[in-house]
Amino acid sequence: MFSIGSISGYNYLYSPERQLSELALENVEALARSEGSGSKLKCYKTVHGDSNKTQTHYTYCGTCSPTKGYDAENQSYCYE
C-alpha cells in the first residue's frame, strides 16, 4: 500500500503537466543568484517605444540594460 501511494505521489509531483507559476519561477531564479553577484535594478518586462513620442530611458528586464521608450509596464528586478 505504501509503494502505491509513493508512486502516485511521485507521478503527481513530477508529471509534465504541472507547471510552475511565473512568480514561482522568479523566486527560484532569485534564490539561484548569490547575494553578492551584482546590483539589483528595477526593470520593466515591457517597454513601449515610438519615435513620435517623448522618450526616456528604462531598464529592460530581458537584457538588464537601458533602452529608450515612452512608457513601461510589468515592473520587476534584474541583476547586473
Is the Cβ–Cβ distance between 58 and 67 less than 8 Å? yes
Alpha helices per DSSP H over 1-80:
2-13, 22-32
Dump pLDDT digits (tens) for 52-78.
Answer: 888 999 999 999 999 999 999 999 999
Dump pLDDT digits (tens) for 10-56.
Answer: 455 555 556 667 777 777 676 665 554 678 999 999 999 877 888 99
What pTM does this model have? 0.51
Instruction: Count CA atoms closer than 13 A to 46's CA, side-chain side.
Output: 4
